[in-house]
């Protein structure tokens, strides 16, 4: 089976449209349809149901889509490693939780690369549960998440610490120091449930005698940037990782509200697959992160 057949199928499955996928791949729609047909012939299963509204996946199509992403990524990883031999460098593929990948790791990896100039870092961000699966499936070499991993097949080491803070816009009318019960009177802007830090907050609040649903949650948003921009406009308060708002707190776009009876630390873990034949460069990277720990995070 040609890997390009699978790649084209995955594009179609993701977009649920042959015409959009053809346009994105810069090939004609008939040519793309022919590639999908060849894949169906190779697998001896019909994968797509075509209609005027686009395409739907058959049961077999859903199975192929499930595995296609990892197969394509593994193939691309192989090409990267072969290219690394030619260029005498080492590629380290990193998958991280959404917040860490946006605000912490770019600076961290830059500082690490100053010491290891032959390392090439490929960083991608995903929800933490996906990060664990991606490491287990060998799609990435290492991962960074908040909290210990759930997958038993993963090794982990604590490499840093963050904390959850309550933020408001600079001119939001609220006392600088309050108690958790006072937050019940304000609207909250929250990260959605894909973020592990939200689920950890729910567990922490339970220990303090509260349920997250007790609070007046007016919006659930899918990115920290969306939360910050909404809070800056004065639409409510939010719980967010400190690492994501350091800049805005410093420039006084936002202010931290000190909640007397709330303190929540979020440990940052480096994760990798147990009993895996780890390459020399990845092993060096892991050992270095273990050594420098929290000092590595900017």
**What's the pLDDT tens digit per position in 58-74?**
899 888 888 888 788 77
Is residue 1 very low, low, confident or very high in pLDDT (cuts 50, 70, 90)?
A: low
b/e string for 10-31 if b means 16 or more Cβ within 10 A? bbbbebebbeebbeebeeeeee
Q: What are the Cα distances from residue 146, in Å, to 129, 134, 199, 201, 227?
A: 11, 16, 11, 12, 19
How far apart CA 158 and CA 152 sit, in angstroms, is 16
pLDDT in tens, 171-204: 999 999 999 999 999 999 999 999 999 999 999 9
Cβ–Cβ < 8 Å for 293, 150: no
pLDDT at residue number 86: 54
Could you give the CA distance from residue 68 to residue 163 in angstroms, rounded to a whole number? 37
Higher pLDDT, 161 or 87: 161
pLDDT recorded at residue 8: 84
Q: 58 with 47: CB under 8 angstroms?
A: yes
Q: Does the predicted model carry a pTM greater than 0.85?
A: no
Record the tokens describing residue 239, joined without a space.
Answer: 């719980």
Please compute the mean of the pLDDT values over residues 244-270 and round it to a whole number. 95
Is residue 228 over pLDDT 60?
A: yes
Indicate whether 102 pLDDT > 80. yes
pLDDT at residue 100, as a whole number: 94
Q: What pairing do the DSSP bridges indicate for beta strands 90-96 and 177-178?
A: unpaired
Percent of the chain with pLDDT over 90: 52
Note the pLDDT of residue 221. 96
| pLDDT band at residue 296 under the 50/70/90 scheme | low
Q: Which residues sit opposite 274 in a β-bridge?
A: none
208: CB partners within 8 A, 6+ apart: 180, 261, 262
| Alpha-carbon span 163 to 85, nearest angstrom | 41
What tokens appear for 293 in the block?
A: 């720990």
pLDDT at 208 over 90: yes
Indicate if the pLDDT at residue 79 is higher than 80.
no
- More confident of the two residues 231 and 107: 231
Q: How confident is the model at residue 33 (pLDDT cuts 50, 70, 90)?
A: confident
């Amino acid at each position: 089976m040609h890997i390009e057949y699978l790649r084209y199928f995955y594009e179609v499955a993701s977009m649920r449209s042959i015409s959009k996928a053809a346009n994105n791949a810069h090939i004609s729609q008939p040519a793309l349809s022919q590639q999908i047909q060849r894949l169906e012939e190779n697998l001896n299963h019909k994968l797509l149901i075509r209609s005027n509204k686009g395409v739907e996946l058959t049961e077999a199509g859903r199975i192929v889509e499930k595995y296609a992403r990892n197969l394509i990524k593994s193939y691309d990883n192989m090409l990267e490693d072969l290219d690394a031999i030619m260029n005498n460098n080492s590629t380290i593929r990193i998958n991280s939780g959404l917040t860490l990948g946006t605000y912490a790791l770019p600076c961290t990896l830059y500082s690490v690369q100053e010491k290891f100039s032959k390392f090439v870092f490929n960083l991608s961000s995903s929800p933490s549960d996906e990060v664990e699966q991606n490491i287990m499936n060998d799609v990435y070499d290492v991962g960074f998440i908040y909290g210990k991993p759930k997958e038993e097949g993963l090794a982990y080491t604590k490499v840093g610490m963050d904390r959850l803070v309550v933020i408001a816009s600079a001119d939001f009318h609220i006392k600088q120091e309050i108690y958790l019960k006072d937050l019940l009177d304000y609207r909250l802007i929250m990260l959605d449930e894909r973020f592990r830090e939200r689920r950890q907050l729910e567990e922490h609040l339970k220990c303090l005698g509260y349920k997250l649903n007790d609070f007046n949650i007016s919006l659930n948003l899918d990115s920290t940037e969306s939360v910050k921009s909404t809070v800056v406009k004065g639409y409510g308060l939010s719980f967010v990782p400190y690492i994501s708002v350091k800049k805005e707190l410093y420039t006084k776009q936002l202010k931290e509200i000190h909640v007397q009876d709330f303190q929540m630390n979020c440990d940052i873990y480096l994760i990798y697959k147990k009993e895996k034949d780890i390459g020399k460069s990845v092993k060096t990277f892991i050992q270095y992160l273990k050594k420098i720990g929290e000092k590595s995070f900017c």
